[in-house]
Amino acid sequence: MQLMQVALVPYNAEASRGEGLTEHVLVRVAAALQTQVIRDLSPVWGVSAVVSAFLSLDQVSPGYLPLVIVEGGNFTLTSQGFHFLAGGRPGAVVRHGDGWTVDASHELIEMLCDPTGTATAVGPSLRPEQGQVEYLIEVCDPCESSTYEIDGVPVSDFVTPTYYAPPDRGSGPFSFTGSCQTPLQILEEGYITWRTRASEDDGVWQALAPPGSSGSQGFVPIESLEIRRISDTPATLTRQWVDAHPAHVRLGARELSRPALPSAGEKAAARYGELLRTEIGLILNPPAPSPTWEDLLTVVRKLADPNETAYRTEFQRDPGAKFGRSGVISELQDLPSPERYQGVLQALEQGQRFGTDFSQEGSIEWLSKLAW
């Protein structure tokens, strides 16, 4: 059994203390999470961790998986949840506010049970006509509204491995508290995600139990679930992919380009803390998207196609808007001929082969010079 190290730590120590996230609170919550991991989670899922409280990111040494608590401010829905940080290590970000200890427990459990965010389980689809499907293992999401307390600290319930077993093979409990009483049962405000394997409905699907959908016995009947297809089938179904294609209120962050982890000889704790602070800052305030090769080529190919009359007319009316939707900012005002844009397209494709980066500043000026 791999023993992981987790750091429960505030993003902004001074601001967090002002909102009541004191050393006493951090130590108390870390102790409750430690008890949950060792006493409740480990025997069920075979994972273990040491959960330690830190007062500042500067105190966190490399090797710890960060569970970062962020005070309010401009915190967005896309910030909270599972992330990949420097060196590809998992981490989690939770907003400090009402119920934050449940959210911290939720993210900690899911990070420990599936550090790569890629674990799946095969089982019968909630849409019977789809047959067997691959469920993404997110052990707290189906029972999201179910909680319990450890030494007065509210923590998240979680499903067990038998939750994903076929109905004729699984035997309870299906969640730690017993709140889920059958395989694949979704409690109110919970959800589950799956990918079809060989079906006319190939893609990624999600079933959500809306608020107020519980029946008289507190269970959400399958006919009350909101089941919808949220995307085509990705190459790999992951927690990060699902977070980036939201169909529910819990969203995650995009993966950013990041530096490698520091070596032990670089004042490791302070340097690691600096990297974490920078990365969490990027998650909280992500940079504006820059154009990719595909963004540029898609626009130019359409403009180079004489059959794309409607697209060309719309572009001529407002070229900035067309490029803006592709992540490309342009001040182009006139529309050149399709033949001229064929030359631009060839130049772009040639530049791509030679590794030219047209997302850098000045690329649009270069493009406009080619076009005119």
Average confidence score pLDDT of the chain: 77
Higher pLDDT residue, 169 or 180? 180
Cβ neighbours for 259, distance < 8 A, ≥ 6 positions apart: 86, 275
**CB of 315 within 8 A of CB of 341?**
no
Q: Tally Cβ neighbours within 10 Å of residue 73.
A: 12
Residue 211 predicted with pLDDT over 60: yes
Residue 296 predicted with pLDDT over 60: yes
Average pLDDT over residues 238-261: 43
Closest to 90 in 3D by CA, of 2, 25, 167: 2
Model confidence at 328, pLDDT cuts 50, 70, 90, reads very low
pLDDT at 266: 44
pLDDT at 259: 35
Q: How far is CA 11 from the centre of its chain?
A: 19
Coil vs helix vs strand at 82: strand
pLDDT at 163: 93
DSSP secondary structure of 111-175:
HHH-TTS--EEEEE-SSGGG-EEEEE--TTSTTTT-EEEETTEEEE--B-GGGGS-TTT--S-SB
Model confidence at 264, pLDDT cuts 50, 70, 90, reads very low
pLDDT at 270: 75
Alpha carbons 307 and 319: distance in angstroms, whole number: 18
Give the E-state strand segments of 215-365 in sequence order: 226-231
Alpha carbons 230 and 66: distance in angstroms, whole number: 30
Residue 248 predicted with pLDDT over 50: no
pLDDT digits (tens, 9 = 90+) for 80-131: 787 777 667 888 999 888 889 999 999 999 999 998 888 999 988 999 888 8
Alpha carbons 80 and 104: distance in angstroms, whole number: 10
Run of H or E residues at 7 = strand 3-10
Q: How far is CA 82 from the centre of its chain?
A: 5
pLDDT at 151: 95
Residue 177 predicted with pLDDT over 70: yes
pLDDT digits (tens, 9 = 90+) for 5-53: 999 999 988 777 777 889 999 999 999 999 999 999 999 999 999 999 9
Average pLDDT over residues 256-266: 38
**CB of 172 within 8 A of CB of 162?**
yes
pTM beyond 0.75: the answer is no
Longest dimension (CA), the chain: 73
Listed by start position, the domains of the chain span: 1-115+250-287, 119-237, 293-371
Average pLDDT over residues 172-200: 88
Say which range, 7-21, 72-86, 138-152, has the weakest mean pLDDT: 72-86
pLDDT at 207: 92
Model confidence at 265, pLDDT cuts 50, 70, 90, reads very low
